[in-house]
Structure 1
């Protein structure tokens, strides 16, 4: 029976979450085959993805343990502070930039050491992907099947068989579906989902600014939605600018001068002159989450389990936490001689991850609806609320640890501990 399987686990989807999971499984002694429709080398091209991710400090611990962080160091930026506030109205006497009511998070409140952990790390996704792919190719025991589309899967005795577009098939004890928010694997399994659109689009761009950002991330709320300025190495920032879809599409089509005018209205001058530094991307925003995080012989990871609003920058972090929990569950099951793909094994994974996931779905949805408007009395109340929380150290520390992924029962990898035997 053992020789009939190509590996213990087949990971379908070679995005950031899928690659992280494959590396974690390999370290844990669980054999793995990674399948992706795109050539992994092509995925390293700068034009593939304009996004950057804010990595929680627990997520970065895991990337250190699995070896990816060493390859990312030249491209990461520490986040020392986070400033959350209502943004100034576009047409006010001093439009753009942070408003008067602020909530300030300082990493020294939870990491007081001089060179202690930051609140998080910023890295452009292309550099994270480059590091993960390089690590995968250096692991001789990980089988990479890319570029190759998967056609369908079928249950077989003791496992699952994945049929590929070229006629081949792969057999594993478990299929880990990390094939995105619109997962075909999940659709074939018939796992129900719930979700909704926001009629919002996230405009993603990189900007250069005159003054240093000093490792401060800004998240301020404008009538169209959240507006995040996330520090990158040098005097650069990743801009995640949410607008109603109709307005966002118009902004994306503007020429350089028109885009600059809209940028100046919102960004403000607190970092000096600012200008666009690269192409723009637009991503329609929605929420979708699976009713179950597993089926028989199938586990859902990353956006296949749930895709959330990017307001808190937690999308990739949730995928990393999925990978950390699932790798530990499967390593424990293998050491005890348990079936890797059985409901008994996968229930532990689902229980570990579902509460955290649903909490973030609810929280990001609530904050987006509360702050994405320009109702005068509501602006005043929420601004005063931010100022009130800012005066309560215990509340600030709770939110920082929650965003950092350090609440609840942490998997070993998120503590910076290896799963290697």
Structure 2
């Protein structure tokens, strides 16, 4: 039976295009169906949205040919400092201090603004695969010979494999009968970009407050991106403040890190929850990114988890194609699911546990947390293990793209 494409990807955010480019470079015919137009995310204006890319994720972007154009826009993460503080802003006595000089691979990762990454993906899609903007996959039907994806513009596309990269409320997953599990954190993340007085020198800070974690992540030019997790009630109250009052509330928590601060872009907020697909595959269907696992933003691992999916699925599909196998057949998809589901679930639940452990002001737990962080910090081998894990270098087996090797 004839197919329009080898792979149709529903979702044009970040993970979908990255997978599409990896597959297209290996000779497959790929279409990315993107609900949004070539949107304002690719505009020149700075809005502060940014990602902490682990070193392994940077290697993937190198492997699909994007990093040379992005490197000058990125801010290397050279150090990570994690401390806990009381609601008064008083810091704990212990903390975790990670320095990239302790590992041979170099920097721990890179901070990159959304506008630069999305623009690079958008431009690459125009010449390397079929990009279908302002359209959604609204229906799908799988059979032994392939899968038919019905689009909102009335078209139908026939493919060997349909990939859901369409977010936490994935229509692809729902139509495939894939159930989800998860829970609400009762927290909201406030996101903003700041100008700061004290040079950050490439240091990322994670401050654990009783209401939730507060990340201060370095951007180029002594700016920082903050992700502040608060209870819903507190977040609503703080989000409603004027810009000046917002800064007055934030400053006591990070003033020792940043010095004087000012807003460098708009403020955003979004509710926090955990949602995990119970399966990553179904007949002729595979899920990646938030469609497979929507996680807490602590440690900034959401996009990195998605890019691990991209690397693993690309490798499974390309190997099957080179062997002359059906890339949408169960054996190919089972290998992908076996590779990714345990790792993703373990990391998601680990972040969930850290958030619950630190999002309180219990004096006994606070003392135990201080001692635990102090103990890790005192053992160089354990500290390096944590750093390599944060850099995405401990995944086993390591997909070729994440290891810096071609497909």
Query: TM-score by structure 1 length?
Result: 0.93
Structure 1: stretches of 5+ with no match in the other structure: none
Which residue does 2:255 correspond to in 1? Answer: 268
Task: State yes or no: 1:135 paired with 2:133.
Answer: no
Instruction: Name the CA distance, whole Å, in 2 between partners of 1:47 and 1:99.
Output: 38
RMSD (Å) for aligned C-alpha atoms: 1.5
> Residue 286 of structure 1 aligns with which residue?
273
Structure 1 position 256, deviation (Å): 2.0
Tell me, yes or no, if structure 1 residue 172 matches structure 2 residue 172: no
Deviations 1:129-148 (A, max 9, x none): 11111121232xx1111111
Residues 189/49 of structure 1: CA separation in 2 closer, same or farther (3 Å cut): farther
- 1:108 paired to 2:101: yes
Cα shift at 1:317: 0.4
Equivalent positions of 1:8-407 (< 5 A) are 8-45=6-43, 50-87=48-85, 89-91=86-88, 95=89, 99-111=92-104, 117-139=106-128, 142-407=129-394
Distance across 2 between alignment mates of 1:403 and 1:264: 27
Q: Give the superposition deviation at 1:66.
A: 0.6
Question: 2: distance between equivalents of 1:334 and 1:49?
Answer: 41
Change (3 A) 1:46 1:156: farther
SS at match of 1:414: coil
1:127/1:99 CA distance change after superposition, 3 Å: farther
Distance 1:319 1:40 in 2: 22
What is the rounded CA distance, in whole Å, between the counterparts of 1:381 and 1:365 in structure 2? 18
Of 377, 391, 401 in structure 2, the residue corresponding to residue 413 of structure 1 is: 401
Any idea what the Cα deviations from partners look like across 1:382-415, whole Å, max 9, x if unmatched? 0111011000111111111112111111111011
Distance in 1, matches of 2:257 and 2:177, equals 50
Answer whether contact 1:201 1:242 (CA < 8 A) is retained.
yes
Cα shift readout 1:135-175 (whole Å, capped 9, x = no counterpart): 21232xx1111111221011244110111112111110000
Query: CA 1:259 to 1:206, structure 2 compared with 1: closer, same or farther past 3 Å?
Result: same
Deviation readout 1:241-268 (Å, 9 max, x if unpaired): 1100111111111012211211112112
Secondary structure of the 1:234 match is coil
TM-score (norm 2): 0.97
Q: How many residues align?
A: 406
**Secondary structure in 2 aligned to 1:162?**
strand
Seen in structure 2, the aligned counterparts of structure 1 residues 46 and 204 have a Cα distance that, compared at 3 Å, is: farther
Q: CA offset at residue 270 of structure 1?
A: 3.3
